[in-house]
Structure 1
Amino acid sequence: MHLFRSHTLSKLLAFFLLLSLGCQQRQQEARQETQQEVADAPAENQYKVIAIKDGDTIELLKDGKPLRIRLQGVDCPEKNQDFGTRARQFTSDLVFGQYVSMVVHDTDRYGRTVAEIILPDGRNLNQELVKNGYAWHYTAYSKDQELARLEAEARAAKRGLWEQPSPQAPWDFRKKKTTNPAGNPASGTSEQASSPAVATSGTKSGKAYLCESKSSKTYHLDKDCHLFQQCKSSTGTVSIAQAKSQKRTACKVCAK
């Protein structure tokens, strides 16, 4: 009987020891899971990149809603330009699906937040685009000396788009599209023949210059208007009457 009781007691002790070890292991696993969740959670002022519109325009998820960001101080080639697709891919490779922080500068007339984007490793996306030859320093809207220096270095090293002998700046590309919008031949119609060959002022030519962005509610009388040059969508030319029929109002800058 004594031996039986001792054997039973040993079994009970072994059972409780195993149970205790199992509890400790589960507690350790739970702590590790919690630590991993904390490590994976975004820090304050960090937002996940959910879309890449083009090289210099991305979307972040902020407060559960998409927020469109226009990168401050840089201008990437348009999608129909040389290096436009490569610039978009460069941006995507660096930030898509990543948590980034931003330094907000302004909100543009299209409602986009104009900002610098800081990568998880601390690098500046705006600077990386210029440094690697995938963007121009947008001097019309930025006097940033670091961007100017990085562009000069990229030019000298013939990085990215600077490997071309005479790359066309995106603002000149957009201006060319405005002068000769898609679907309109450069010459050959009697209507165009009766109009000035080059007309900057819409009041003289009767033309209105439109940015085809969904959020655009204005028309421009001057195709060189700096607000019109900010358009990142396709552009077009219609008569002033047609622009008004679309319930657009004249730009307060170029209609003065």
Structure 2
Amino acid sequence: MYFRKNKYPFHLWLVWLLLCLGCQQSRDYSQDQKQEEATTGENQYKVIAIKDGDTIELLKDGKPLRIRLQGVDCPEKNQDFGTRARQFTSDLVFGKSVGLVVHDVDRYGRTVGEIILPDGRNLNQELVKNGFAWHYTAYSKDQELARLEAEARAEKRGLWADPSPRAPWDFRKKRTTPAATAEATSSVSKKTGTSLPKTATSPSATISSKTGKVYICESKGAKTYHLDKACHLLEQCKSSTGTLPLAQAKSQSRKPCKVCAQ
């Protein structure tokens, strides 16, 4: 009676276990299939622009597709090694057909993924391996990227030649704080011997304020306006950009950009 009573529940447990194993194998197969397609010729796209070390544009279906590399973070343009990281990426992929393994879409509408080089290497990994990017641990737990960063640190490759390089996420945070603006203003004043307004603006921001027009991202859902055409947040627009009279931008319930319009 004991075995007869528990026979049916055991079968249910066995079916559940087999279903779980099947789902896991399906996920693994799907990821492996994407990797294989990116390496063997399917999902190949031409690289048409290099925005910075970790952001590029591909040509897909006749339209530009902006790609943010998964799991890595390169120095910003104004940081040490920012230009060299961009050049490293350009040397490897610009004008070439590469594979794309899609992971996600970020809040700016960019496709987040891995780029597979024509020779089968992984661009994301190559950047970290050669000391041109950090493993972006806030968004990635990839063990291979962690291993490659530790290796680059130990060998003092690229940016790791500096004993205390500043991570790009810390650089971005400081750049957008009032203290950072005050520090930049003070630095320029000391070098030129002249005083500057409390809020330093770029030439494009000055021109925009004089004409009464602002810059906007025309992407659906964009709700901010910019005084600076070169604002790094505006550059992340996934659609086209344009200008509007300030009054019209406000009538559309657009808010001033926290970086360039405050």
- When normalised by structure 1's length, the TM-score is 0.59
Q: Give the equivalent residue in structure 2 for 1:28.
A: none
1:83-113 deviation line (CA, Å, top 9, x unaligned): 0000000000000111101110001111110
Offset from partner CA, 1:189-243 (integer Å, 9 cap, x none): 9x99xxxxxxxxxxxxxxxxxxx98358357xxxxxxxxxx96969xxxxxxx9x
Q: Could you tell me how far apart the structure 1 residues matched to 2:85 and 2:79 are? A: 10
Indicate if the aligned counterparts of 1:49 and 1:59 stay in contact, CA closer than 8 A. yes
Structure 1 Cα separation of the partners of residues 146 and 216 of structure 2: 29
2:71 corresponding residue in structure 1: 73
Provide the identity percentage.
Answer: 75
Distance in 2 between the 1:143 and 1:154 partners?
Answer: 17
Moved over 6 A (4+): none
Residues 85-94 or 174-183, more deviating = 174-183
- Displacement of 1:133: 0.1
Give me the whole-angstrom Cα distance separating, in 2, the residues matched to 1:165 and 1:115.
Answer: 30
**What is the match of residue 253 of structure 2?**
247
From 88, 109, 112, give the equivalent of 1:111: 109
Provide, for residues 107-151 of structure 1, a one-character-per-residue CA deviation record: whole Å limited to 9, x for no partner: 111111000000011000000000000000000111111100000
Counterpart among 136, 139, 142 of residue 141 in structure 1? 139
SS in 1 for 2:176: helix
Q: In structure 2, the residue corresponding to 1:85 is in which secondary structure?
A: helix
User: Structure 1 CA distance, aligned partners of 2:141 and 2:216?
Assistant: 27
Please point out which of 213, 216, 222 is paired with 1:217.
Answer: 222
Partner of residue 53 from structure 2, selected from 55, 61, 73: 55
Could you say if the C-alpha distance between residues 213 and 167 of structure 1 is closer, same or farther in structure 2, counting changes exceeding 3 Å? farther
Distance 2:47 2:126 in 1: 17
Which amino acid is the alignment partner of residue 247 of structure 1? S
Contact 1:60 1:67 in 2 (8 A): yes
Partner of 1:168: helix, strand, or coil? coil
CA change 1:151–1:233 in 2 (3 A) is farther
Report the CA distance between 1:247 and its aligned residue.
2.7
Q: Is the 8 A contact 1:213 1:233 kept in 2?
A: no
CA RMSD of aligned residues (A): 3.4
**Partners of 1:93 and 1:159 in 2: how far apart?**
18
Query: Which secondary structure does the structure 2 equivalent of 1:126 belong to?
Result: helix
CA pair 165-213 structure 1, distance change in 2 beyond 3 A: farther
- 1:59: how far off? 0.4
Aligned twin of 1:85 = 83
The match for 2:156 is: 158
In the alignment of these two chains, the number of paired residues is 173
C-alpha distance in 2 between matches for 1:213 and 1:136: 31
Residues in 1 aligned to 2:90 and 2:63: alpha-carbon distance in whole angstroms: 20
Aligned partners of 2:149 and 2:60: how far apart in 1?
Answer: 31
Q: Which runs of 5+ in 2 are unaligned?
A: 1-39, 187-194, 200-214, 225-231, 237-246, 257-262
Task: Report whether the alignment pairs 1:168 with 2:166.
Answer: yes
5 Å matches for 1:191-202? none
Cα gap change, 1:111/1:173 in structure 2, threshold over 3 Å: closer, same or farther?
A: same
Gap change, CA 1:107 and 1:79, over 3 Å in 2: same
User: Over residues 156-187 of structure 1, what are the superposed CA-to-partner deviations in whole Å (9 max), with x where a residue is unaligned?
Assistant: 0000000001100000000001112489747x
Structure 1 unaligned spans of 5+: 1-41, 193-211, 220-229, 235-241, 251-256
